[in-house]
Chains A and B, each alone.
Chain A
Amino acid sequence: MTTNLVAPRDVETAPAAETEIEAEDVLTADGLVKKFGDRAVVDGVSLYVGKGEILGFLGPNGAGKSTTIAMLTGALAPDAGSILVNGVEFAADPMRAKALIGVVPQEIALYPSLTARQNLAFFAGAYKLGRKVREERINWALEVAGLTDRAGDKVSSYSGGMQRRVNIAAALLHQPQLLFLDEPTVGVDAQSRNQIFETVLKLRAEFGMSVVYTSHYMPEVEQLCDRIVIVDGGRVLAEGTQQELLEPLGEGLLEWSLNAVEAGLLKKGIETLAVAFTAHGETTVTTSGDNTPTLRVRVKDMPATLRKVSDLACEHGLGLGGIRLGRPDLESLFLDLTGRQIRDGA
């Protein structure tokens, strides 16, 4: 095991014991850059993945997630930065690094005119597995995907959810230590989504598999991931456990949307309310919208703020129908970081 952990040229500089501690991270990426033309689509992304950890890689469409994954899995060469897989420098020994990782591309990366079994057999062939092991793994992967019964059917005849599951199964055949899942639940029904979640958790439990889980869908990342990296415009905006990330957001979020009548009752529009909340001591107050102007308040002290709301409503004769309270979540964090809704896209 230890021999696997040390990149050859690190041997002299780093004592074995120390390397082993460092190598607890299955993946370390530092300062990754990828440019297409003049445009840096990935602009200095650094991240790490601990052993057995499920890392959420979260960002809107076009944030550079897939491009980052492409670099981390050897499909694209980074313009700058370094990647260590289990202590092996990717660029120095790509074959060894690649043997440790598996990737589930965002696309259904399968041959639709072939059967699931034919697809798996083909992709298994890319790894040096003995004939017997290969057969076992194919059967196992089919079982994991819950498709043993339909293994002889063409992939094109499958539902979207089934195709997604084969897409994942094809990345498991060599039982990688680190699995990249690039938006694995796009276009999938709730049942298949749950099945995929269970699969990911089971793989971690059984093999200690580490996972990088890419998504632009917040709730699933919240549900599944131990730690989260949020990216936008090719840069890391925030990184940490969910708790760490949400702590600065305070107790909750208050959203107050006004209808036309209510908006008319305010002398200077919604700004009046914003000023009142700021004076009340809330730090982040944003307003938006013309038709139904909306006020968003990050709440530090919920009871005090609610009292303030009812005071303001009485004072201006406003209704409380447009008020929503929410616990802080990643969606609100992203909004906070970028001023945009994550689903808005790029």
Chain B
Amino acid sequence: MLAMVRKEILVLLRDRASLITLFISPVLFMTVMSFALGNSFHSLGSPGKLSISIVDEDHSAAAQGVVKALSSSGELQVTSALGGVPLSAAQAQSRVHSQTDAFTVVLPAGFQQQVAGGGAPKVDFVVDPSSSRQVVDPVESAISSLIVTVTSQEGTTLALTKLGDAQSDPGVKAAIQAQVAALDSTTHQVDSTVSFPNGEGAKKYPSVYQQEVPGYTVMYVFFIVTIMAGSIMVERREGTFRRLLSAPMPRWQLLLGKVAPYLLVAVVQVGILLSFGRFVFGMSLGAHPLALLPISLALASCAVALGLLLASVARSESQVMGMGTAAVLVLAALGGCMVPGVFMPQFMQHITHFIPQGIALNAYQDVLVRGESMTAILPGAGILLAVAVGMFALALPRFRFVR
């Protein structure tokens, strides 16, 4: 048994392509994506600030509150006036057109009135079509939530109160006070869907690696599927299984000797990738890092079980590569490893909860981002383990050592 694990690891260590797939590729991916999104390696230079402009067509206190809040967020390069003159919509448009700004936020006339009326304030975004959705979307949704936050809390509350005081009409005053209360509840909603923690919001705003490290970790763990299934196909083709079957060793031992090393490799892979996030990106491991262990074990089991299932149903090595790669990529996408679930349409978000990758990613983020403890992630880990057991049960009766 131990000899089998040793052999498998030796063979894998000499298989450069697989090593690159499992370890180098995800590390490169994480690094490149983090650079691209300009949110890590602060020490290597000033963080790439996204340039935006904001146009106030309402000329109201509420709109000015938003402008001020955006300008002071520190993470954005905000232009609201040129030479002391407020930016016009046309100017802002041309700035976006010339790619000076990634996009512009237009607060149209009637903004304050809508806020005061308790409705959803209308805000227009003018976006440079070439700018990446992955960059613009999170900022856009962040700004939206910021707008709601600003118009509802602190400064805005003050502004509205002041506005109400100035009116001195008891009817309007009451309406404004009702509005303050209404907006408070709206804030919670916005915060929870975009997961943009309140106080720390501005500081944590570039949580790129908190999405990316677990996302790509989960995605890349599943590449063990093609590597493991491929190795089984090779042993089938090359007759090494045939030789081992002629030895006085029960089949289950042989199978275990083939599966266990990949489980080990997958767990080690998770460890390396999360450590990379921790020590290179300074990603926080949350308040309960030990809780990462059961998730990782369950995730690795899932990947290995899928590998065995693939090896049991595929008829050729090219099928393994084709089906395996397709499954890994599609499942990663559905699981929200590539594009965060928040940016997916509703039905896709539902699907995510049924995809092992989505369950794992969610559990990881529970620990990494939301600071949850062991008890919070155990159900997720349990589901993953159950999925793994289910796939093993599907695979075993179909598994063949010889062609």
Contacts and interface: CB of A to CB of B under 8 A. Distances in A.
Contacts of B11: 111, 113-114
A106 B242 CA distance: 10
A204 to B, nearest CB: 20
Nearest to B10: A114
Contacts of A109: 238-240, 242-243
Contacts of A108: 238-239
A70 B244 CA distance: 12
Interface stretch (A46-54, A122-130, A229-237): A122-130
Given A94-B248, A123-B244, A126-B247, 7 more contacts: A70-B402, A73-B245, A75-B402, A103-B243, A103-B246, A122-B7, A123-B247
A98 B246 contact: yes
Q: In the A-B complex, list the 6 residue pairs whose CB atoms are closest, starting with the nearest.
A: A105-B239, A107-B239, A109-B239, A125-B3, A126-B247, A113-B14
Contacts of A99: 248
A111 B239 CA distance: 10
B246 A73 contact: yes
13 contacts: A73-B242, A73-B246, A74-B245, A94-B248, A95-B248, A98-B247, A110-B240, A123-B244, A123-B247, A126-B3, A126-B244, A126-B248, A171-B243
Nearest to B13: A113
Nearest to B244: A126
B173 interface: no
A118 interface: yes
Interface in B115-149: none
Contacts of A114: 7, 10-11, 14
B82 interface: no
Interface string B231-245: 000000111111111
Counting chain A CB atoms within 10 Å of each CB, the highest count among B4, B237, B246, B249 belongs to: B246
A101 B6 CA distance: 25
B3 A122 contact: yes
Interface string A115-153: 000100111011110000000000000000000000000
Nearest to B12: A113
A93 B130 CA distance: 70
Nearest to B247: A126
A275 interface: no
Interface in B190-247: 237-247
B209 to A, nearest CB: 35
Contact of A107 (B238, B244, B247, B250): B238
A313 interface: no
Interface of A: 70, 73-76, 94-96, 98-99, 101-103, 105-111, 113-114, 118, 121-123, 125-128, 170-171, 180
A40 B245 CA distance: 22
Contacts of A125: 3-4
Contact of B15 (A94, A113, A118): A113
Contacts of B14: 113-114
A107 B245 contact: no
Secondary structure of the A side of the interface?
loop
B401 interface: yes
Nearest to A115: B10
A107 B244 CA distance: 13
Interface residues of B, number: 24
A129 to B, nearest CB: 11
Contacts of B239: 105-109
A95 B247 CA distance: 8
Nearest to A156: B14
Counting chain B CB atoms within 10 Å of each CB, the highest count among A99, A101, A122, A171 belongs to: A122
B231 to A, nearest CB: 10
Nearest to A109: B239
B98 to A, nearest CB: 56
A75 B10 contact: no
Nearest to A102: B246
A75 B400 CA distance: 10
B296 to A, nearest CB: 28
A107 B237 CA distance: 8
A170 B7 CA distance: 15
A77 B3 CA distance: 26
Contacts of A171: 243
Contacts of A74: 245-246
A98 B243 CA distance: 11
Contact of A111 (B237, B240, B249, B250): B240
A10 B2 CA distance: 37
Interface in B1-24: 3-4, 6-7, 10-11, 14-15
Given A103-B242, A106-B239, A107-B237, A98 B248 contact: yes
A101 B246 CA distance: 7
B243 A123 contact: yes
B149 to A, nearest CB: 58
Contacts of B247: 98, 123, 126-127
A128 B249 CA distance: 10
Contacts of A102: 246
A98 B249 CA distance: 9
A102 B246 CA distance: 7
Contact of B242 (A75, A94, A122): A75
Nearest to B254: A126
Nearest to A173: B247
Nearest to A126: B247
A126 B15 contact: no
Nearest to B400: A76
Interface in B371-403: 401-402
Contacts of B237: 107
Contact of A118 (B4, B10, B246, B248): B10
B234 to A, nearest CB: 9
